[in-house]
Structure 1
Amino acid sequence: MSARVLALAVLGAMSVHALAQQYAPGFGPDPQLPAPQKSLIPTMNIAPADPWPQGTRPTPAAGLAVTAYGTGLDHPRWLYVLPNGDVLVAESNKPANAPKEDGIKAKVQGMVMKKAGAGVESPNRIILLRGIGANGTAATKTTFAQNLNSPFGMTLVGSDLYIANADALWRFPYKTGETTLSGKGTKVMDLPAGINHHWTKNVAASPDGKKLYVTVGSNSNVAENGMEIEQGRAAIWEYDIASGKSRIYASGLRNPNGMDFEPQTKMLWTAVNERDEIGNDLVPDYMTSVKDGGFYGWPYSYYGQHVDDRVKPQKPDMVAKAIPPDYALGAHTASLGLAFYNASLLPQFKNGALIGQHGSWNRKPHAGYKLIFVPFNNGKPSGPPQDVLTGFLSKDGKAYGRPVGVAIDKQGAVLLADDVGNMVWRITPATK
């Protein structure tokens, strides 16, 4: 080997090593996973809810500014921007009428969630925000729909607005500009409910408007309640609007939440919350492109074909076909929101993904509690995540807010729902 070839080889190896070093543990396209750590008592590290003190707000990255666009909200979880620029905000939480999980563990988790701000009664309502007032807040705020059942995902196809409740997908007639839904809704698809360990159901329309995709999370952490109650769960469903027929599009996704179509390839992507109780650094939440018929491991394996031996009986044939995710988002970050940026106001985000990380109660130290950005190139993640909005945790470990849904408004600003702070934040370029 010549000296020049040897030098190039060394430089190439150094470049690969340098690239690998840019990713924090548990992040990126090829995360290095530690051995699982089992314990009788799950790690509990609660950030008690303590909504934003007067005059405080999250911290934006350099070159950005943040304003409180939606204020005085009640547990805002998800966002949808209508074509005329109106912003829909789903105020929601776990259904009050869902069957309760039994056992000491379930009771402890319930207390933990309440302390973390997730135990409030579901408002079962969608709020409409319109315009921008002098101080950056919405010019008007009205009740768009109410008496729903833990609404979450929303999408408009033509003149039909689809709303995903905890137990069913509904269709409502929509007239451009109306501030209250005037027509009667029609149930178009039942969704798996029951205990609803993961109750959030999101819905997104395909780019051609012919199909809907609906997320359904698992009814357990790792099938400890038996696989019989997981029928149709831990999956993304496809609903064909013309025929009314539905099928499981992809499975083995423990708790998929955010969904969006990558602007260049038009491929469906989702953000997924992975399993708990095998260590601070297992298992990374992730985002991934979603393949038709793809199986992503849950509950038998994680991050591809890493077997989870807590699941009995095992199914090696299922593990063998488990697809590794495209990009790890850190263990226990509770990555929920996902929106690709395809506007011009913030060109630094062009074609990349914005992810709302809700933060989890079972990791030391805390992880998540921020909005991050992952750059994309040619339809694939192309670099380490970048912080966009931070400061949701106080110095003494209290949660001023918890990021959830992400959307891009008609002007190209980034919107972020904050269900503990009861805000919708709006991110724009900083003014000089």
Structure 2
Amino acid sequence: MSATLRKTLVIIAIIIVAIVAIGWYLLQPNKAKFGDEELTGTDPLIAEIEEETIPSLGIMDPVGWADGEAPVAAEGLQVTRFAQGLSHPRSILVLENGDVLVAETNRQPSKPRNFTDRAAGWLMGRAGAGDPSPDRIMLLRDTDNDGVADSQSVLLDGLKSPFGMAVREGRLIVANTDAVLSFPFTPGDTTIAKGEEWQLMALPGGGNHWARNLLLSPDGNQLYVTVGSASNIGENGMALEEGRAAIHEYDFTTQTHRKFAGGLRNPMGLAFNPDSGELWTTVNERDMLGPDVPPDYLTNVPIGAQYGWPWIYWRFTYDERVEAPMPQYLQEYTRWPEYALGAHVAPLGLVFANGGALGETYKSGAFIARHGSWNRSPPAGYDVIFVPFDDRGNPVDGKPLTVLSGFLGDDLKTTRGRPTWLAWDAARGSTAGGLLLSDDTAGIIWRITGTPAAQPAQD
């Protein structure tokens, strides 16, 4: 081998090593500096941004739960398996007769637009969320009332990424990713035949945030519909965001709908506060500003409320990455969210306390399922928390209480499951019963109850 060839090979080897080293360095996730102490509460830290060209990826391999394993419940609570063997269970609806409906669902296939989409899609696949959508609603029954479902059957299939569900006047209302549909249904039915449904309203389908949640108003006259953004910060053009990043209101009397609130990047959980009568939601905030920015949040949603997406977050902070012109006076009308839930924790399911069904500690406030981060190191979320409220119906400042944990592996590189949706199985008005939690990657519905000492006395 000539000296010239050796020199050339050495230079090539050095270049390859340098490229690999630079690539390794660029792919190292930014390390979070703050935790729940600083990034939760009514007055959270809004940290300095660490803008990312390549998202910090937190690869969590789903390992599932072994027989006999369960999440760790807070003192005074216990958790058991209500149902298992499900295929990506997400939202839950408990009917007046005690039947439990579960949407087995996932996003529809789509082509990634950019590197971030590809990275997120690859990571979701690694995390157990890349399977084809089952596109159906399952019916679970606990006939002997022992806290375990005795049967599982398909109530309705052939849907398109179904998520939100509601029952009203002999109809089951289902939110596909692209439309709200109404099917003839009476609690107790075991199947629904397709062909007699009608469409209440069309929705912009798919996008980065594909799930559409539903909630009836307490009097049953209005239906609230969440639609998340198609992108992170409108980077594909605001024309694609028309009707998105919003909560819509459908009126059954007039059969019309309107935007109820906007600037909500990805609103998911919906619930009415029983003390104040206000509508509340959980919101997933934007990515790629660093591991601590900005916090996801829980907030009330007055009519006409505006929360700033994509131009503003947490009322006072502008996102300089957004290229689209900001509407005039937007900052003036942007609201400060009521309660921070931590950065990138992906809050999904939301229910308010059910008259102390889980004990005095949880008598007034909101339970929230934090699905868990995919772009933060160390990971955050992967739990169920409780945010206490005061007598006036407002969140109490401070760190939330942990209700259920143990979903993350001890190595912080694996997950046994991911907490997703919440529903009371005591929807018949009793404070007895428990809180159902879907675990989408594990295919389990968990049931959280108070121990005998924590349960309120019954008449």
Whether the TM-score (by the shorter chain) exceeds 0.5 is yes
What is the CA deviation profile of residues 42-100 of structure 1, one whole-angstrom value per residue up to 9, with x for unaligned ones? 1111211111123211010011111110110000011111111111111000013xx42
Runs of 5+ consecutive residues of structure 2 not aligned to the other structure: 1-34, 427-431, 454-459
Assess if the C-alpha contact under 8 Å between 2:40 and 2:342 holds in 1: yes
* Deviation digits for residues 13-44 of structure 1 (CA, Å, limit 9, x no counterpart): xxxxxxxxx97111011111111111221111
Superposed, 1:220-235 pairs within 5 Å as 220-235=231-246
2:13 paired residue number? none
Give the counterpart of 1:28 among 41, 45, 54. Answer: 41
Q: Distance in 1 between matches of 2:393 and 2:169?
A: 27
* Structure 2 CA distance for partners of 1:23 and 1:363, relative to 1, 3 Å: closer
Q: Distance in 2 between matches of 1:218 and 1:330?
A: 20
Q: How does 1:338-417 map to 2 (within 5 A)?
A: 338-348=350-360, 349-377=362-390, 378-383=392-397, 384-396=399-411, 397-410=413-426, 411-417=432-438
CA distance in structure 2 between the aligned counterparts of 1:347 and 1:428, rounded to whole angstroms: 9
> Which of 264, 274, 296 is 1:285 aligned to?
296
What SS does the corresponding residue of 1:269 show, helix, strand or coil? strand
SS at match of 1:89: strand
Tell me if structure 1 keeps the 8 A contact 2:79–2:448: yes
* 1:326-345 equivalent positions in 2, closer than 5 A: 326-345=338-357
1:322-359 deviation line (CA, Å, top 9, x unaligned): 11100000001000111112244323322311100000
1:100-153 deviation digits (Å, cap 9, x = unpaired) = 232333222211110011101100011111116697421221111111111101
1:167 aligned partner, one-letter code:
D
**Which of 305, 311, 321 matches 1:294?**
305
- Between the aligned partners of 1:105 and 1:375, the Cα distance in structure 2 is 36
Q: SS where residue 24 of structure 1 aligns?
A: helix
Q: 2-side partners of 1:51 and 1:371: how far apart?
A: 18
Separation of aligned partners in 1, 2:113 and 2:84: 37
* Contact kept in structure 2, 1:205 and 1:213, CA below 8 Å: yes
Alignment partners' CA distance in 1, 2:144 and 2:64:
23
The answer to whether 1:113 aligns with 2:129 is no
Partner of 1:421: 442
Return the alpha-carbon distance in structure 2 between the equivalents of residues 423 and 374 of structure 1: 24
Are 1:67 and 2:80 matched, yes or no?
yes
Aligned-partner Cα distance in 2 for 1:251–1:136:
39
Distance (whole Å) between structure 2 residues aligned to residue 247 and residue 189 of structure 1: 11
Q: Which moved more, 1:298-307 or 1:50-59?
A: 50-59
Could you state the TM-score of these two structures normalised by the residue count of structure 2?
A: 0.86
Give the C-alpha shift of residue 320 in structure 1.
2.5
Distance 2:166 2:145 in 1: 29
Helix, strand or coil: the match of 2:86?
coil
Contact in 2 for aligned 1:263/1:342 (Cα 8 Å): no
Task: Report which stretch shifted further, 255-264 or 45-54.
Answer: 45-54
Equivalent-residue separation in structure 2 for 1:287 and 1:309 (angstroms): 24
After superposition, the Cα gap between the structure-2 partners of 1:301 and 1:223, relative to the gap in structure 1 and judged at 3 Å, is: same
Distance (whole Å) between structure 2 residues aligned to residue 355 and residue 420 of structure 1: 18
Say which one has the larger Rg: 2
**Superposition pairs of residues 44-63 of structure 1, within 5 angstroms:** 44-63=57-76
Aligned to 1:312: 323
The answer (yes or no) to whether the contact 1:297–1:305 under 8 Å persists in 2 is no
Find the counterpart in structure 2 of residue 273 from structure 1: 284
* Residue range with higher mean Cα deviation, 256-265 or 51-60: 51-60
| 2:457 equivalent in structure 1 | none
Q: Which amino acid aligns with 2:359?
A: P
Does the aligned pair in 2 maintain the 1:26–1:284 contact within 8 Å?
yes
**SS at the partner of 1:151?**
coil
What is the aligned length?
Answer: 408
**Aligned equivalents of 1:28 and 1:290: distance in 2?**
18
Moved more, 337-346 or 418-427: 337-346
Q: Which amino acid aligns with 1:403?
A: P
**2: CA distance, partners of 1:164 / 1:188:** 10
Residue 396 of structure 2 aligns to which amino acid in structure 1?
Answer: S
Q: State the superposition RMSD in angstroms.
A: 1.7
Identity of aligned residues (%): 45
Q: Is the 8 A contact 2:47 2:294 kept in 1?
A: no
What is the distance in 2 between the residues matched to 1:310 and 1:344? 45
Shift of 1:314: 4.1
Alignment-mate amino acid for residue 220 of structure 1: S
User: Which residue identity is paired with 1:267?
Assistant: E
The residue type equivalent to 1:408 in the other structure is W
Distance 1:23 1:192 in 2: 34
Moved more, 173-182 or 248-257: 173-182
Residue pair 2:438, 2:444 contacting (<8 A) in 1 also: yes
Matched residue SS, 1:337: strand
Q: What amino acid maps onto 1:59 in structure 2?
A: V
What SS does the corresponding residue of 2:280 show, helix, strand or coil? strand
Instruction: Tell whether the 8 Å contact from 1:67 to 1:427 is kept in structure 2 after alignment.
Output: yes
**How far apart in 1 are the matches of 2:137 and 2:421?**
14
Stretches of 4+ moved more than 6 A in 1?
Answer: none
